[in-house]
Structure 1
Amino acid sequence: MSTQGKWEWLSDATSLLPPCDGAVSYYSQFGRTAGFTSAAGRRFRGILDEHLDLFRWPEGTKADRVLSVKGEGGQLYHWILPSFFQLLKDLVQEGREFAVVFRTFGSDLPRVLSAVSRALNEGAHPLFPDLPDLKLKVNMTPGEIRCSKRGTVLSRAEERVSTRDGDRGLYQYLSSVRSLGGFQDHFKWWASNDFSIRGGKPLWVDPFDQHVQHIFIDDNIRQNDEDTIVHPKVPSHLLHQIFLDPGGAETRTASTSELYDITLVQTDLLQAISQPSYFTQRVHICLENYERNLQQGAG
């Protein structure tokens, strides 16, 4: 806003971070606006159209019931970013042992698991027909993470882990996952905490762990916790808990900036659409920064 109280654009470039100190996003002031790029944000219409074209389902290939989705005008689009499947291929080719845990406040988890399974097991993705060669398994049973003032409970089928037995038990459970799967996080808890970081998706991090690195990727991660606090409607934020000593159970809440590009990745959706290796690059940055932190800790 200008000193006269009028909205002024400070930059025509897209960015995850404000162009200068004191800048605020249009969304934070006015919320989600239908037809944004046809009205106030018309200067960004070209960027939208360009990336929608890049996100189209490959021409000449049949629509897939779970991997493609119809948009405006009946145009077909990818339902899952192709750069995600590229990440899986790259990690396998690099010989890395990894697991993928989807986390969502919504009800879309069963479809996500079905889509990923269809691509990995049936080779149904036209851009990645060789995904079954990766031999990756998908746990099709959706799990739940439920929070309260008494603690956090993670459950899936017969599995159940609670922070009432200590935070490290849940951390060790997530560290032991060896497949692709997912959990629905607790939307009502998030809402009861005014949609703030206090009710966000819990993530436990052990910076002393020499064997397992947790990386949380989400387009609603924000580097500035103050910005997060004053704009509580931003969805899917995290509650970061760091173990203070090796093997210990005591935790403290960490700021996003402490873990940014180490265990937290704020997705740049435009780059994730336009750059097939986007997620692979971001994971490599986290791996390098994590290793550097380990070496500094050892020193």
Structure 2
Amino acid sequence: MELLPADQDTESAEAVSSQRISKIPTALNRKQSKLIVHFDLNNTLQLFDTVTRQGPRSALSSFLTTVTWGQINQEGKWEWMSLEPSLNPPCDGAVSYYSQFGKLLDFTDTADGSLFKKIFTDHLQQMEWTDPHNDLLSVTGEDGKEYHRILPAFFELIDCLLSQNREFAIVFRTFGADLSRALKTTEVTLSGQHPQYQHLQMKHLPLTMVPGKIRCNKKDVVLTLGSERISIKSDPKALYHYFSSLEGIVGFQDHFDWWARNSFSSHGGKPFWIDPSETGIQHIFIDDNIRLNDAESIICAQMFVDGGSETRIVPTAELEDVCLVRTDLLKAIHDRNYFIKCVEQCEENYNNYTALL
């Protein structure tokens, strides 16, 4: 599928107005698979973290510690291996600043982090809310300035999918307690109250305002939403079928305590199912805490084998940019087409992946 013009590259995206990008074309995907896109909130769709109580400045600063790379040299001093932030190490032996020193909320104000100050300042500025104050659409930062509550790139994805008449669902998946506010922000935007997305009020998209919960134990995973209660105990595919049947936007709070009890590994992470035998649907999970090292990752990815109810745990590396996307927060801020490109890449890679199974 081609959601973007073939000749629209990164340089053209950089030249786009901070208010609106050029209109997304309406060429339809030939395959027309239904998309279920699971989204984390903190540091994926929001430049703040309610769990750790980080505002926009702190959240961006701490994120930079996870994408900047160096090592301790023979003199026992920190030495940068690259001055270009990246999700993965630029070379053998490089470790993230975070893994060495932890997430510093004032990283770019330190001697080590000062080299990334311009990147920090430029991206923070791109997130500034320049329209009249709105508690649902903007958030006040530590510096007193207003910032977008939800990244514009998210609404660009919704706009694109609606314009292309795609069948899809968006599922918020967070450990935090910010679901209600995120759903309300989305509701306000879809009602035409967002100054930059007033045209979205002309497009109907179902929105479930009541947040649900997902709870896990050794024998079961249970989803509740209002009066609904769905368990995989008697039907291993029950939650997969539930998510696959969704339309529009809905949100669930995942089970943080279960993740913590499993040493913050993928084994206790947010449950996520895929079924390659079902060719008319694709599930994608986008989260900033996805890691190639499953001992540190946040998604418990499970694949149904041969279309049956038996599952196998899938290593994160096997599904990277196929069904699992680690959020590059800098790109998501800088390029309003970022999530569109993520979905486009996953669709292409998923077709290739399933063809080899």
TM-score normalised per structure 2? 0.77
Matches within 5 A, 1:166-185: 166-185=235-254
Amino acid aligned to 1:239: C
Partner of 1:10: 81
Partner of 2:12: none
Partner of 2:96: 25
2:251 alignment partner, SS class: strand
**Correspondence for 1:54 among 126, 135, 139:** 126
Amino acid aligned to 1:139: T
Within 2, Cα distance between the matches of 1:208 and 1:21? Answer: 38
Q: Does 1:187 align with 2:248?
A: no
**Correspondence for 1:254 among 314, 317, 331:** 314
The verdict on how the C-alpha distance between 1:209 and 1:15 changes in structure 2, with shifts beyond 3 A counting, is same
Q: Does 1:34 align with 2:94?
A: no
Q: How many residues align?
A: 285
Amino acid aligned to 2:145: Q
Amino acid aligned to 1:99: A
Amino acid aligned to 1:12: L
Q: Does 1:109 align with 2:179?
A: yes
The CA deviation at 1:291 is 1.8
Within 2, Cα distance between the matches of 1:9 and 1:293? Answer: 36
Deviations 1:259-294 (A, max 9, x none): 111111111111111111110011001111112233
Within 2, Cα distance between the matches of 1:21 and 1:179? Answer: 43
User: Which structure has more helix as a fraction of its residues?
Assistant: 1
Deviations 1:92-119 (A, max 9, x none): 1122100000000000011011110111
Partner of 2:24: none
The CA deviation at 1:202 is 0.7
Amino acid aligned to 1:242: M
The CA deviation at 1:4 is 4.1
Runs of 4+ displaced beyond 3 Å: 294-297
Within 1, Cα distance between the matches of 2:76 and 2:303? Answer: 42
Q: CA RMSD in A?
A: 1.3
Amino acid aligned to 2:253: Q
Q: Does 1:124 align with 2:193?
A: yes
2:78 alignment partner, SS class: coil
Deviations 1:28-70 (A, max 9, x none): 2222213110002111110000001111112xx2111111011
Query: How many percent identity over aligned positions?
Result: 48
Partner of 1:161: 230
Within 1, Cα distance between the matches of 2:242 and 2:105? Answer: 42
Partner of 2:136: 66
TM-score normalised per structure 1? 0.92
Q: Which structure is higher in RCO with an 8 Å CA cutoff and minimum separation 6?
A: 2
Partner of 2:305: 244
Matches within 5 A, 1:219-234: 219-222=288-291, 224-225=292-293, 228-229=294-295, 232=296
Partner of 1:201: 270
The CA deviation at 1:20 is 1.1
Unmatched tracts of structure 1, length 5 or more: none
Within 2, Cα distance between the matches of 1:174 and 1:3? Answer: 52
Unmatched tracts of structure 2, length 5 or more: 1-71
Moved more, 21-30 or 149-158: 21-30
